[in-house]
Amino acid sequence: MPRYRYKCTECQHDCEVTHSISEKLTDCEKCKLKNTLKRIPFLMRIKKEGSSKTGDVVKQFIKDAKEDVSVEKKNFAKEYEP
């Protein structure tokens, strides 16, 4: 799930929350006022050591994901063999 950052327009309380993209917080947990939270853009960068190109990171992720799927298929097949 994505991580979001919110700031209260009244008390200036700042928080980070993980929730679905369709959800949006509006009430401040600190000052308890309603409709005072504003979502602040939250940029997150992940850099994999030894790789400086985005394409390399994506290719490695796809390769790892394919291996994981392959392992899960084998486990599933073993579990449900007649």
Question: What are the domain boundaries of the chain?
Answer: 3-40, 48-82
CA dist., res. 49 & res. 16, Å (int): 26
- Mind listing the pLDDT tens digit for each residue in 31-51? 999 999 999 876 666 655 665
Which residue type occupies 50?
Answer: G
CA dist., res. 76 & res. 82, Å (int): 12
pTM over 0.85, yes/no: no
* 69: its two tokens: 């799927």
Neighbouring CB atoms inside 10 A of 30's CB total 13
pLDDT, residue 18, reads: 87
CA dist., res. 25 & res. 34, Å (int): 10
